[in-house]
Amino acid sequence: MVDLNSSEVDAHGQYDAIVVGAGIAGLYQLNRLREMGLKVRVFDAAGSVGGTWYWNCYPGARVDSQSYVYQYWFSDELIEEWDWSERFPAQPETERYLNFVADKFDLRKDIQFNTRVTSADWDEIEQRWTIKTDQGGEVTAQFLISCTGMLSAPKVPPFPGHEKFKGQIAHTARYPRQGIDLAGKRVGVVGTGATGIQVIQTVADEAGDLTVFQRTAQYGVPMRNPQFTDTDRAHWRAKAHELKERVHQTFAGFDFDLDYGSWHDHTREQRRQILEEIWADGSLKFWVGSFPEVLVEEEANNEISEFVREKIRARINDPILAKKLVPESYGFGTYRVPLETGYYDVFNRDNVELVDVSNAPIECFTETGLRTSEGEFELDVVILATGFDAGTGSLTQMNIQGRDGRSLKEEWSRDIRSTLGLQVTGYPNLFTVAGPLAPSTAFCNMTTCLQQQVDWITDCITYLKDTGNISIEPTVQKQDEWVEHHDDTANATLMARTNSWYTGANIEGKPRRLLSYIGGVAEYRRICDELKDSGYQGFSIG
C-alpha cells in the first residue's frame, strides 16, 4: 500500500533510496542523492525538519560546537546567506538554520513528516528493502539509509507511579514545543549530564523552587559565547574554505587539534599555564584540544581532573555542597564534557536544592512529586534530563531484518558490531550514518562526521551504479577487523573504564563497548577514503 497523501510519492511505492530522518545528516543525504538523479523519499517521525534540533527544544538547549564549524559546507551560497548570531547558537537558531536549508534547496517535497518507520525487511530475491511506517504505508527501495542520529531514542527511567503524579512530566528530548510555564513553580530536574546542566542553569531564575536530582557530578567547563558582529561573520566566511578542509584533519572534527605537543614535554607550571589558556577559550577545546595523554594516561588525567575540580570548588560558597558537585569517581573527559554558563553559581541561590541520589535513589513518583529512599519532594513539574539509548536505540527500534531474517535488534542485544559504523554484515544496502563504532557516535563535531559519512555513502552508491552492481555489505572478516581495531583503540583509553552512555552503561542489559570510535576523525576519514579507493575491498558486492 502506498501513502498517497504526499506530493512526490512514487505511484508504485518504489524508490532508489529511503532515508530515515530529516536532521542534519538526512537533509544532506537527500540533497546528495537527488543530485545523482535518484528517486528518494525521507521519513521522519517529527512534524518538521531538524532532527535533534527539532526534538530537543527544552529550555537552554544550545549547540556546543562553534557555529562556524557546525554547519554545511556544500554550498558557498548558503554560507554567504546564513548569518550566525553567536559562537554557540541556541536551539531555536540551529533549528531555523535547518529549516532555511530545507527551503533553500526545496527539500521538503521529498520528506514525509509525522511518519515513523516501523519495520524494514531485506528481500533477498528482489534485492530491495521493504519499509513500513506507522502511517500504514509500505514502500520498497534499493538502499536504506538511516540518518536517525546517535542520540534520538530517549531513555526514560522506569520510576513507577508516573500516572499518579498530578503535575507535569517532560523528557528533555520530547519537551513540549509550546514550552511549559515554570514561573513560580516547584520544578524538579532529574539528571545532570550536558542536557540537565543546560536546563538547570536556564530555569533556576524562572522556577519558584528548583530541586536538582544528581546521581553523578560533572566536570563542567565554562562556555565563552560572544555575540557575533558583522566583522566576526565576515572573518569566518572568509575562512570557510580553509575550515571545510581543516575540520577533517583534526582529532575531533573541530578547527583546533591536540596542538600542545606531549604532556611530558612540559613542566607542571607550563602545563598549568597552557590549561589556563585553553580554559579561557571556553569551548570543548579543553576536552579534545589539549594533550593526547589526557584520555589515555592516568597521571595526566589526574592532573587535569584536579585542575577542573579546583575551578568548580571556587564557584560554590558552601564547602559541603561543593563536595557533592565536584566529581571524584571518574576522570575528566571520560564522560561527555558539558559546557556551562552559570551552572555552578545556580547552587548558591536560595531557591535551588541539590539532592544527591547516588546513594539514595529515586524510587517512584507520588501524587505530589518524587520519592527517594531518603525522603519525598513536592513538585509541580518534573523534567527528565535522563539521556538516551545512544548509538543503537534509534536503529533497534526500527525492526530491521536483514538476510535470512536476522534481526539487528536481536544481534545488537548480544554484541554491538558494525563496519566503520557505516554498514553491518548481513544487512546489504543498509547504511547507518552515525551508527555505532564511528566517531560520529559523539566523539566528533557532529556536522563534520555526518557530512563525511554521507559523502562516503553517496560515493559508494555511485560506485555501485557505475559498475552495474546492486548490493554491498561488509564480509564477516572485514567487520571483525574493524571491531578489533575499534576495541584496541578504545580499550587503550580511560573512557572505556567510565560508566556513561559512551559505553552503553546507562541502559540496563546493553552490551558494553565504547560506542564511539576514538582513533580520531582524521584517521577515520583516512581509513574510509582508503576503502573507497580500493574499490571497497573486504565488502561483498554483487
Tell me which residues touch ligand NA7 (CB under 6 A): 151, 157, 190-196, 213, 215-216, 336, 357, 362, 385-388, 442, 501, 506
Distance, in Å, from the CA atom of 198 to the CA atom of 25, rounded to the nearest integer, reads 24
Q: Considering the complex, what minimum distance in angstroms separates the CB of residue 514 from ligand NA7?
A: 14
- Do the Cβ atoms of 103 and 82 come closer than 8 Å? no
Nearer Cβ to ligand NA7 (161/535)? 161
Distance, in Å, from the CA atom of 72 to the CA atom of 84, rounded to the nearest integer, reads 13
Q: Considering the complex, what minimum distance in angstroms separates the CB of residue 218 from ligand NA7?
A: 7
What cell was used for 49?
A: 525538519
Nearer Cβ to ligand NA7 (334/425)? 334
- Do the Cβ atoms of 188 and 298 come closer than 8 Å? no
Q: Considering the complex, what minimum distance in angstroms separates the CB of residue 221 from ligand NA7?
A: 13
Q: Considering the complex, what minimum distance in angstroms separates the CB of residue 158 from ligand NA7?
A: 8
**Residues 525-534: contacts with CB within 8 Å, 24+ apart?**
525/248, 525/452, 527/420, 528/420, 528/422, 528/452, 528/453, 528/456, 531/420, 532/456, 532/459, 532/460, 532/463
Strands 117-123 and 128-133: antiparallel
- Do the Cβ atoms of 296 and 493 come closer than 8 Å? yes
Q: Which residues contact 70 (CB under 8 A, 6 or more apart)?
A: 63, 94, 445, 446, 447
Q: Considering the complex, what minimum distance in angstroms separates the CB of residue 129 from ligand NA7?
A: 29
**Residues 527-536: contacts with CB within 8 Å, 24+ apart?**
527/420, 528/420, 528/422, 528/452, 528/453, 528/456, 531/420, 532/456, 532/459, 532/460, 532/463, 535/463, 536/460, 536/463, 536/472
Q: Is 16 helix (H, G, I), strand (E, B) or coil?
A: strand
Torsion-angle region of 112 (φ positive above 0: left; ψ -120 to 50: alpha; else: beta): beta
Q: Considering the complex, what minimum distance in angstroms separates the CB of residue 248 from ligand NA7?
A: 20
Q: Considering the complex, what minimum distance in angstroms separates the CB of residue 364 from ligand NA7?
A: 11
Nearer Cβ to ligand NA7 (64/473)? 64
Nearer Cβ to ligand NA7 (236/524)? 524
The candidate with the shortest Cα–Cα distance to 445, out of 497, 522, 507, 383, is 522
Nearer Cβ to ligand NA7 (137/167)? 167
- Do the Cβ atoms of 237 and 81 come closer than 8 Å? no
Nearer Cβ to ligand NA7 (192/451)? 192
Nearer Cβ to ligand NA7 (112/305)? 305
Nearer Cβ to ligand NA7 (427/501)? 501
Q: Considering the complex, what minimum distance in angstroms separates the CB of residue 475 from ligand NA7?
A: 32
Q: Considering the complex, what minimum distance in angstroms separates the CB of residue 32 from ligand NA7?
A: 25
Distance, in Å, from the CA atom of 243 to the CA atom of 296, rounded to the nearest integer, reads 28
- Do the Cβ atoms of 336 and 442 come closer than 8 Å? yes
Distances from the Cα of 508 to the Cαs of 83, 175, 491, in angstroms?
43, 24, 21
Phi, psi of 218 (to 5 degrees): -120, 160
The candidate with the shortest Cα–Cα distance to 218, out of 92, 442, 437, 385, is 385
Nearer Cβ to ligand NA7 (39/174)? 174
Q: Considering the complex, what minimum distance in angstroms separates the CB of residue 399 from ligand NA7?
A: 25
Amino acid code (one letter) for 4: L
Nearer Cβ to ligand NA7 (117/385)? 385
Nearer Cβ to ligand NA7 (213/256)? 213
DSSP letter string over 394-447? Answer: HHHTT-EE-GGG-BHHHHHHH----BTTTB-TT-TTEEETT-TTBTTTTSS-HH
Residue sitting closest to ligand NA7 (CB): 193
Nearer Cβ to ligand NA7 (402/421)? 421
51-61: burial string, b at 16+ Cβ within 10 Å, e else: bbbbbbbbbbb
Q: Considering the complex, what minimum distance in angstroms separates the CB of residue 172 from ligand NA7?
A: 6
Amino acid code (one letter) for 290: S
Q: Considering the complex, what minimum distance in angstroms separates the CB of residue 80 from ligand NA7?
A: 29
The candidate with the shortest Cα–Cα distance to 243, out of 66, 466, 454, is 66
Q: Considering the complex, what minimum distance in angstroms separates the CB of residue 100 from ligand NA7?
A: 23
- The neighbour count for residue 177, using CB atoms within 10 Å, is 11
Nearer Cβ to ligand NA7 (385/400)? 385
